[in-house]
Amino acid sequence: MDDRRKRLILLATLAGVLLSALDGTATSTAMPKIVEQLHGEQSLTWVMTVYLLVSTVTIPIYGRLADLHGRKIPLLTGMTLFLTGSALCALAQDMPQLIAFRVVQGAGAGALMTVGMTLVRDLYPPERSTGMMRMQTLMAGMMVISFIGGPVAGGLLADHLGWQWIFLVNLPIGAAAIAVLARLVPHDRQPDRDTGRFDTAGVLLLTVGISLVLVALNNSLGIALLAVGMALLATFVFVEQRASVPIVPLRLFGSRPYSAVTLAGFLFTAATMPAGLFLGLYFQQVRGYGATASGLMVLPLMAGMLIGNRGTALVVLKTGHVKGILAAGAVLTTLASASLAAIDVLPLWLTMLCVGLIGLGTAPSMGGITTAAQMSVERRDVGSATASLLLIKQLGGSAGLAIGQSMLVSGAPHGLAHAIGGTIAVIGAAGGVLALGAVLAMTNLDVMPARQQEKVA
């Protein structure tokens, strides 16, 4: 297809990615307003948790459907579900309704990133490494904007228009994206795709197992749930080894580079999640800023991610390797996160500096992790490898959020500032150290052919 058609498909795909990710973060800033109107204070964490949970467990399903039936149908199905859920959320009259409608949203959101990134890979294949890296940088940039821009947008909308507009703004943008994708994305049915029986047993075991594990992490009495969830996931591994078309091809994890890079992705995401979500709460509840101002106070995190993401792309384009920059990012994430243990005594400017350094340290894991994962497998496995990586990263984010919420609740009696700083410091530093270990276990993948490196040089 011509370049104009590619660009239009890319923009529509990125719009879907941006909307799904913005929705997960914008809601966190608007939660005080939502609780004020809908009440249900005891259920407020579930508004975010169910969205992450459902979008997580649907990732491998959409990934496999995209391999079996092409990219178009799963992507349009996901977008339709997401927009339906958005409209219903805006109409919610109480907290149980909002939580239920967030489930519908999450069921659609699982497709937007998974199939979207696979579609971008189709448009910019491995033999065009420079173009692929730039597209990955653009995708990562969208995630940065959503990760930090979400709280800002959520605060602005909640303060001036009402929290319902967090969901309503999705409708016109999403509808335009659907129109473009429905018209321009071809029905891709390649004859060499797997055509075996769909892995229903694997889907059920994975869905229930992950759900129980994440619920257990968010529940102080969830030891039994955790045990059952882990047993189901162990059974899932057994079933996948025998499935003709497994929902998660386990052969991918027989590759040391792929296993190491996906583990690093899990740990980087878990390490950063508390900072992205709880800093807005700190500026609002401790420093006394409004919802809009507290969202703006987290902008250094976005600035660090944007600068670091661009720097990562330049390093990888120049050297062809990603291991060194990932290791440096893990070290910086560890040190910057640990420094926020003293957030209750740090001056504001130093707090903001540490926040920016967390973003700078996390940035290499965004586009760099995805590129390394895709280049560590055969081309026929790129779709499944992308879906599996996103699943594992999403699990990392969900685990970081669940553990962070538990730590925040248990530490709150000692002071909210101390609880927030301690949560960010412990999870960020531990995740950073472990991510460094995973990165060091990687082989130094050559993510660009030599001929492309020469052109960049």
Q: Which residue has the higher pLDDT, 293 or 274?
A: 274
Does residue 261 form part of some domain?
A: yes
Short-list 252, 251, 250, 243, CA closest to 199:
243
Does residue 194 form part of some domain?
A: no
Total domain count, the chain:
2
The CATH number for 397's domain is 1.20.1250.20
Contact 44, 54 (CB under 8 A): no
Same domain, 69 and 157: yes
Question: Does 127 score more than 60 pLDDT?
Answer: no
Q: End of a domain among 244, 260, 279? A: 244
Does residue 116 form part of some domain?
A: yes
| Helix ranges, 286-381 (H) | 291-296, 299-319, 323-339, 348-362, 364-375
Short-list 254, 144, 273, CA closest to 214:
273
Same domain, 95 and 209: no
The token duo for 53 is 């949970």
Q: Which amino acid is at 403?
A: I
Same domain, 139 and 240: no
pLDDT digits (tens, 9 = 90+) for 172-217: 999 999 999 999 888 765 544 555 566 788 888 888 888 787 777 6
pLDDT digits (tens, 9 = 90+) for 259-287: 888 999 999 989 988 887 788 778 877 88
Same domain, 71 and 82: yes
Does residue 219 form part of some domain?
A: yes
**Cα 69 off chain centre by:** 24
Same domain, 307 and 424: yes
Q: Which of 12-26, 138-152, 439-453 has the highest mean pLDDT?
A: 12-26
Same domain, 252 and 225: no
Contact 81, 104 (CB under 8 A): yes
Q: Per mean pLDDT, which range of 289-293, 353-357, 367-371 is the poorest?
A: 289-293
Band (246; pLDDT cuts 50, 70, 90):
confident
pLDDT digits (tens, 9 = 90+) for 63-111: 778 877 788 888 999 999 999 999 999 898 888 888 899 999 988 988 8
DSSP per residue, 166-199: HHHTHHHHHHHHHHHHHHHS-----TTS--S-B-
Question: Does 316 score more than 90 pLDDT?
Answer: no
Question: What was the pLDDT predicted at 453?
Answer: 44
Does residue 348 form part of some domain?
A: yes
d(CA 123, CA 125): 6
Compute φ and ψ for 115, nearest 5 degrees.
-70, -35
Question: What was the pLDDT predicted at 194?
Answer: 52
User: Which are the contacts of 18, defined by CB distance < 8 A and separation ≥ 6?
Assistant: 142, 145, 146
Q: Per mean pLDDT, which range of 162-171, 223-232, 307-316 is the poorest?
A: 307-316
Does residue 193 form part of some domain?
A: no
User: Which are the contacts of 277, defined by CB distance < 8 A and separation ≥ 6?
Assistant: 25, 28, 48, 401, 404
Question: Which helix (H) or strand (E) is 387 found in, with range?
Answer: helix 382-411
Residue 232 domain boundaries: 199-244
Does residue 434 form part of some domain?
A: yes
Q: Which residue has the higher pLDDT, 67 or 256?
A: 256
pLDDT cut 70: percent of the chain above it: 84
Q: SS3 for 245? A: strand
Question: What was the pLDDT predicted at 375?
Answer: 76
Same domain, 91 and 232: no
Question: Does 457 score more than 60 pLDDT?
Answer: no
Cα 314 to Cα 5, 204, 324, 375: the distances in Å are 27, 42, 13, 18
CB 38: neighbour CB atoms within 10 A? 19
pLDDT cut 90: percent of the chain above it: 14
Short-list 381, 386, 389, 336, CA closest to 358:
336
Does residue 37 form part of some domain?
A: yes
Question: What was the pLDDT predicted at 288?
Answer: 79
Question: What was the pLDDT predicted at 78?
Answer: 92
CA atoms within 13 A on the CB side of 446: 5
Could you identify the residue written with the tokens 């869905």? 207
Same domain, 212 and 347: no
Same domain, 273 and 388: yes
Question: What was the pLDDT predicted at 441?
Answer: 85
CB-based burial label for 97 (10 Å; 0-12, 13-18, 19+): middle
Contacts of 451-454 with CB under 8 Å at 24 or more apart are: 452/129, 452/130, 452/320, 453/317, 453/318, 453/319, 453/320
Contact 52, 394 (CB under 8 A): yes
Across residues 418-437, what is the average pLDDT? 91
Question: Does 456 score more than 50 pLDDT?
Answer: no
Question: What was the pLDDT predicted at 196?
Answer: 58
pLDDT digits (tens, 9 = 90+) for 6-48: 888 888 888 888 888 777 777 777 777 787 788 766 666 678 7
d(CA 74, CA 61): 9
Helix 3-38, helix 256-285: angle, nearest 10: 40
Same domain, 53 and 99: yes
Same domain, 105 and 224: no
Question: What was the pLDDT predicted at 191?
Answer: 46
Same domain, 210 and 274: no
